[in-house]
Structure 1
């Protein structure tokens, strides 16, 4: 059984049912029934037209489920008007499905779960394991999301930016459970890039590839975080980096800069440096300046302060940091790093300890605790300033 084929066909089959008049929740249930039947029957008797087979079976399941409904005749008339196998292509339908799953009426977590289920073709169990929550909890979340979008009409173009943010949320969920969400996000973004010609879609795909290329070097054998400057760059995926850079260059050539393209440009500059000491921090600051203009995001300004500290010295970085709200996530960790770079080890040790208490996950907390312990064990030493913040 080709599970990858089933998952790739799921969104277009679901979109065809929705376009024929099925509400989203009922259509999604019917497609899941068809997938179950495919898993059972295809190994022994594979169809010549897998997509057509799925459309036909899913539509029959939908009609069976709604037979007693008052709208039965209208729906049956609809199916008589269209070929049983459905259209040969489903690019527009699949694109609409992306926009439906990223509808602004959904919370971020619901939009991500629904995207993984409807567009990604994952089962509720797989999504629950990836999020480390009970299957029943995830089933309820997906059911609520399906009910929310069941009445949505596509009479206006969808918001590409919202779709991209949902995909980026999927990418940032990590690697828990039996589904690699980062790899899944890259697969889905590739699919979107094939369906829509948009430089920011290309920018997001490039950003994902460049970040994912460093995955193997981000943690030590014991699971501890390895800062970017200390990562073994021979373990970076050079093919992914080359592809990401090529995609980015083509997007930038269109002169329609967006935030994902700018973020990818920063990641490309990191990937381009053979050693941490050779990183072009001046260019990175310039790209962060572009990002500030595009987003005016406090998080971007925080990352810019780190880059300024590398390009112009730690005191310049601290001056940039002083203009920001100290309640920002990672603000204290950045302050600790810049104070260490400036030689103020006592303050840096105290700030690392404070940052550890504020850390949002165990790996980050352990890393910051070790940084504080390292400085406290050598209070009179000026340590090497080449060790950057965890990345």
Structure 2
């Protein structure tokens, strides 16, 4: 045990001095999480704000656009004609212009969009389509009501539009949901993805010892061989937990990530690190050099990251969602989603148990193959 502890402390000193661990454990996952959050959306406090202009159609402006502008969802400019709006779009001063018929009820409603503002243009087209659909529905209702009756169509249309909506969507009440906000999702996904690259440093440490000639000395020393493997493996677990903890704290401060119940997060982190270290060690045990081990782990990390949903949500197509159940990424993100829904540590028991099962299975295989990693020929590497 004392020999394993000595090897562990020596490896920890080397790893925390190595910029590789800092790069793959903190800089890259945090940097990519920041970029993904910035480009694909942050937390729920952020909202879409489109820059729109409208020409004509007082009814459309008053009923649809102005209420959104008053709530801060869009910025709105009213223009005398469509040509002025087209000029603003060309200059990039607005995202889209609504060209509405004068009465706002008959004719063609057109959206002139900025090619560089695809999302804002799609939102504008959705608003225009919804307004046109509502007018058509109202027109059909009035036509049905006027059949065989002597009534004022205009009055019926006004009554139809003024009637209360039978069912309305309430967006003011917070709903308990098991879904990660974008900032937390990106930070968690990048953390697990790059955890493999940090863990391989420890797993491939035996190859470095062999190349440096120190492995022969360790094997010749009066210490059990398992202490060599134990020292290397525990070093990977410790560094993984430390980097994950720092990453979680930093992403919470800089990105606004919300991780949930601390005890539940701690259990998920520990179990995930054990599972990743087990997988990494098994993959490394089939390699012959540190470079080969790093390359193979990179391939495995990428494949598991894709199917586990660490890089992007996996599509619900065919067997793709089910492949994620064999990855630690899927269970780590699933556990965090349980915590995001207000769950406590008891809510992540199942993900933690699955992650520990992965760790036990891969750890057993790694121990079985550890003899091959410690094998030397002729007293040299």
Specify which structure has the higher proportion of strand: 2
Asked which structure has the greater RCO (Cα within 8 Å, sep 6+), the reply is: 2
TM-score range, shorter chain: under 0.3
